[in-house]
């Protein structure tokens, strides 16, 4: 029996937040014995390395492998593309009003 971790979905919502869904599975050979999701959200200007380090710490505490460095690089690349100057400015403005 092994526990696996895989990057399942990355989506960008209208305020620029990047949402990440990670699949967690318990497998016995070809059989999936359990399946659940772990999620995190990365608002504009989030320090991606710190957020993903916290996610990975939590995954390891649950007995799963951490998100791979290559998957974190994919997430960072998408965040970089999503967090334009306009998106960051709008996000700051909304948060100042809250």
- Render pLDDT for 25-67 as a digit per residue (tens, 0 to 9): 999 989 999 999 999 999 999 999 999 999 999 999 999 999 9
pLDDT at 5 over 80: yes
What's the CA gap between 91 and 61, in Å, rounded? 33
pLDDT at 70 over 80: yes
What is the pLDDT, as a whole number, of residue 98? 63
What is the pLDDT, as a whole number, of residue 59? 97
What's the CA gap between 38 and 22, in Å, rounded? 5
* Mean pLDDT, the chain, whole residue set: 95
Please, are residues 28 and 45 in contact by the beta-carbon 8 Å criterion?
no
pLDDT at 9 over 90: yes
């Amino acid at each position: 029996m092994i526990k696996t971790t895989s990057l399942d979905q990355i989506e960008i919502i209208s305020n620029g937040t990047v949402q990440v869904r990670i699949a967690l599975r318990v497998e016995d050979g070809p059989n999936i014995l359990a399946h659940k999701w772990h999620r995190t959200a990365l608002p504009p200007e989030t320090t991606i390395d710190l957020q993903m380090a916290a996610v990975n710490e939590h995954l390891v505490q649950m007995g799963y492998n951490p998100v791979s460095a290559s998957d974190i690089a994919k997430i960072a690349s998408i965040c970089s593309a999503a967090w334009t100057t306009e998106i960051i400015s709008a996000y700051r403005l909304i948060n100042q009003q809250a």
